[in-house]
Chains A and B, each alone.
Chain A
């Protein structure tokens, strides 16, 4: 004990001199690099035909990656406690942007999801996802005494998420709405809310979702197409059937980088939502496995970092980020492999998309910062942190707050 004390005393700036987690950083950078290559391969035909230049998406993607690396570096140097201070601002901004979308948003395809900033398209839902994670981490940390209360603990974050979900559905962006819902409920659950609330939420949510699917033609089409893609291969099942055809065409070792056939008009949005199909076709099961392993490394390192975070905000934040990334990766792969109805979500770190790339970079940057703030000396540091806040340790498992 004394030696540890001594260490802290002799290294008061320990937080700032620790290097970031090289394994996490390396895996993330590798995924981004693979992303650049695959975005180019997936988009070169469409870009040549529609934009007049085969490297149209590649050059933009390069810019996003560079911007992402810059924000990642900056974020990794911002003390995460400062992020906590910005929570009200972040969540208000998210809600405001999402609410403004129907009025000022830019429409592409059948969806109105973007703000046209002139030089770049900004997608508020991507921003809101990360903001919601930060917000929920804040709730888990600062409101942990009241989490057992329905009105004071459970409902407020649910309402925030509700607003986000409703605005997302108006775009319409069913995928993001699902993510908002899953994020908020899961975060409340792991933060220690009552199981009864969660169960109740599911009881209300499941029929609501079913109702929404049944009463929305496009969603219903997609849903039935998902259940039997080949029967709808010329309309709603077109994407799924061709995505699966591409992946199957790739087999075990793929038909070769750049040689994909299905990207020439059969896989819509090959560089964003369906980039997995292109990877599956060109790099085969081996390429898919490598990418999944890299994601697994990111998630596992992220969880380790979260586990070792010095306080519950950091822990919840780390876990939330891993959760956010994992859900998105799973949904994206699931859609490409025909396991889930088509959504319209990007694959973090790989897909083409400015907002997604920068937000994911910020998320990774936060994890990297947390990796610098590892609680090697958990006892002393953490306790003092808690004591400084004057927080009262509670045994939340008991659910004594009622």
Chain B
């Protein structure tokens, strides 16, 4: 059988084959030779001459990429977002690859709204990397992308590409706008706390650009035509949680204080106002308000003077408020007691060629009444009996003439002339608060010492700073800066200040129900230029009306300082500032949980871990409030579709919601959707895309 088959096979082939397998094997042999050569070549490329062949790949891997690390988020003391950064694009250039800077600048200038000559200068820079524009708008991004793809213009766009960038957004708009300050276009601090943070903390963690070795792509155009960094390198940068800066500000309180201050400024036709709510026990600034208010997201629309935190960076003559320190110095030196009778000369006193007079004319008055009725003559007499050295000593200890060290740049030291001998007129003036200039924060800090057993604390605006892992890297500590007076003097001062807010006294309009407050009015005359003579002199009308006081007076928790610049109509701290103080004090009782007053000091909720959170949305226009939230503490999610990311973040942040951003450009979807009722702080996912891409993505 087997033999049979063997014999048969060749014969059958001869009969059947129209196909020459011997020739086919010849062809297959050739193919085999080809594949063998391929195998040898593979060994050469993969192993033996690998280094030689892979050189271009190594070159390609040596690009560089610059990433903007996200700038720190700034929150209030309860975690309400005050400032955050939103991903955006920066237009960057390699000037060496820009062949015709003038033509390129001519194309870009109208898109970026940057002066053409300035662009030319940028594009002619030395080096291989420069930022052309930060936080490019979506329209500009698309327009430049089009130019890069257009055959006619793409050569001019060589060397230009987009890198990730961030845009600063202030979700609570006007809230603490002047204190927060703002950032420059490269996301670095420019004024206010934003700059202060940059100066106080490591620049690297505040949003410095990080350079990453990256893989250059071979693409010549399109959004991917830059570099690609290894994900393992970039993701930690892009995904890292931002630094968290928690300020001492209480957003809910700040909102109310700003409202009250704004009302006070406008009803008194005043130029501006400032108010500080200061924690007597810790030195924390709970509220630092400025009026008129400005929207921090559109701050350039506001007049320049309104943009500045003048309560920290401007000084003014405080007026009678300073009498507190004169009398404290006298008590401390035991020159007088509260009941010592002072000769007030019927309300008139002439020193050299200066005339000093009182509003309430008294023949003589006790120290208590001097403060109560704010007698200038009496204060001068008390100061004289104390002596200049003692007054200078307490003013130096109070820190007048020195910045307080808040992270607010350009803080004013003040004008105090505390190191030289005063002439009698200056001495008299300074005794009741003229001829000395202080800032609002200096004053409230020093004043608060009387509520803290005479110890003046270091003021704090930043509570904690957390790094990207959530670890606390900075924490404000209660620090005694100076012992201003002895505890006994401090207690006596509280007693005296309490009487100022009583019927018939100057500060009577500062009184509130439910709680006994105490404080001192101040009416500081302003030096103005006489329009006729051109001489600078004290004005009879322009004044700083102020009131500084404690809540509650028996055992102070907070100090409040209100100062109004140039009120018109009603004059004086007692008439203008004291009512604002009363309203703020009343608000503090509610918002800080100080009511009922008697138990104050034993349990203060806002210092514990469960603070009462107040959602700030009072400024939301009625039209935007579609439905009222059915339950307090819940929020109706606003519709942010179609909005730009910064706007969306602002709207959501304003409602007290957290925003999680996916993509960049214009919002096309949000989860949960608009109208959903959620609890406060719920994260809302917002999906954004550049307009053109958005449509593509939706398809």
Interface residues of A (CB under 8 A from B): 45, 48-50, 52, 140-141, 144, 186, 189-192, 233, 241-242, 244-252, 261-262, 264-267, 280-281, 284-285, 288-289, 292, 296, 303, 307, 311-312, 315-316, 319, 323, 326-327, 330, 333-334, 337-339, 378-379, 382-383, 386, 393, 395-397
The answer to whether B56 touches A242, judged by C-beta atoms less than 8 angstroms apart, is yes
Residue-wise interface mask of B (46-74) relative to A, using a CB-CB cutoff of 8 A (1 in contact, 0 not):
11011111111110110000000000000
Bound complex: CA A206 to CA B51 (Å): 36
The answer to whether B14 and A48 touch across the interface, beta carbons within 8 angstroms, is: no
Flag if A280 contacts B46 (CB, 8 Å).
yes
5 new A-B contacts at CB < 8 Å, known A261-B57, A265-B225: A189-B27, A248-B57, A251-B47, A281-B57, A383-B12
Contact B16 A311 (CB under 8 A): yes
The number of chain B residues with a CB under 8 A from chain A is 51
Q: Which chain B residues lie closer than 8 Å to A190 at the CB level? A: 19-21, 23-24, 27
Which chain B residues border A49 with CB–CB below 8 Å?
Answer: 219, 222-225
B46-A191 in contact (CB<8A)? no
A244 touches B45 (CB 8 A): yes
A250 to B47, CA, bound (A): 9
A347 to B45, CA, bound (A): 20
Within 8 A of A (CB), among B24-51: 24, 27-28, 31, 34-35, 37-39, 41-43, 45-47, 49-51
Say whether B37 contacts A386, CB under 8 Å: no
Determine whether the beta carbon of B54 is less than 8 Å from that of A249.
yes
A-B contacts, CB under 8 A, total:
161
Docked Cα-Cα span, A49 to B49, in Å, equals 33
Q: How far is the CB of A199 from chain B (nearest CB, A)?
A: 14
CB distance from B141 to the nearest CB of A (A): 15
Can you name 10 A-B residue pairings with CB atoms under 8 Å? A49-B224, A190-B19, A192-B18, A248-B49, A266-B56, A285-B46, A337-B38, A383-B16, A393-B15, A393-B16
B693 sits at the interface (CB 8 A): yes
With contacts A191-B18, A248-B45 taken as known, whether A330 is within 8 angstroms of B224 at the C-beta atoms is no
Do B47 and A285 have beta carbons less than 8 Å apart? Answer: yes
Does B152 touch A at the CB level, under 8 Å?
no
Q: Does B627 contact A (CB under 8 A)?
A: no
Give Cα A20 to B61, complex, Å. Answer: 48
B7 within 8 A of A: no
- For the complex of A and B, list the 8 residue pairs with the smallest distance between their C-beta atoms, beginning with the closest: A265-B218, A49-B224, A248-B53, A144-B18, A312-B18, A248-B54, A265-B219, A266-B218
Q: Does B8 contact A (CB under 8 A)?
A: yes
B222 engages A379 (CB within 8 Å)? no
Q: Which residues of B contact A261 (CB under 8 A)?
A: 57, 60-61, 215
B697 contacts chain A at the CB level, 8 A cutoff: yes
Contact of A284 with B696 at beta-carbon distance under 8 Å, contacts A45-B228, A189-B23, A382-B12 already known: no
- Could you tell me if B21 and A307 are in contact, using CB atoms closer than 8 angstroms? yes
Residues of chain A with a CB closer than 8 A to B39's CB:
292
- Does B12 contact A319, Cβ atoms closer than 8 Å? no
Complex: A397 Cα to B14 Cα, angstroms: 9
CB contact under 8 A between A288 and B215, given known A190-B19, A245-B53, A312-B17: no
A264: B residues at CB distance < 8 A: 215, 217-219, 224, 228
**A316 and B23 contacting across the interface, CB-CB below 8 Å:** no
Query: Of A244, A246, A284, A312, which is within 8 A of B19 by CB?
Result: A312
Out of A144, A189, A249, A337, which one reaches B41, CB within 8 Å?
A337
| A245 x B18 contact (CB < 8 A) | no
Whether the pair B53, A266 counts as a contact (CB closer than 8 A) is: no
* Contact indicator A334/B47 (Cβ below 8 Å): no
Q: How far in angstroms is the closest Cβ of chain B from A221?
A: 18
Complex-state Cα separation, A249 to B54, whole angstroms: 5
Q: A288 and B20: CB pair below 8 A?
A: no
Cβ of B46 and Cβ of A248 under 8 Å apart? yes
Question: Known: A49-B222, A261-B215. Contact between A326 and B50, CB under 8 A?
Answer: no
* Contacting pair B18 A266 (CB below 8 A): no
Tell me the complex Cα distance, A303–B43, Å: 27
Q: Which of B8, B57, B60, B224 has the most CB of A within 10 A?
A: B57
Is the CB–CB distance between A249 and B57 below 8 Å?
Answer: yes
A residues near B17, Cβ cutoff 8 Å: 312, 315, 396
| A6–chain B nearest beta-carbon distance, Å | 15
The answer to whether B18 and A141 have CB atoms under 8 Å apart is yes
A233 to B56, alpha carbons, bound, how many Å?
A: 9
Q: How far is the CA of A274 from the CA of B405 in the complex (A)?
A: 64
Task: Tell whether, in the assembled complex, residue B8 and residue A379 are in contact, meaning their CB atoms are under 8 Å apart.
Answer: yes
What separation, in Å, do the CA atoms of A251 and B60 have in the docked complex? 17
Q: CA of A339 to CA of B693 in the docked complex: distance in angstroms?
A: 41
Residue among B12, B21, B23, B37 making CB contact with A339, cutoff 8 Å: B37
Query: Given B19, B31, B45, which contacts A315 in the complex, CB threshold below 8 Å?
Result: B19
CB distance from B33 to the nearest CB of A (A): 10
How distant is B317 from chain A, measured CB to nearest CB, in Å?
Answer: 64
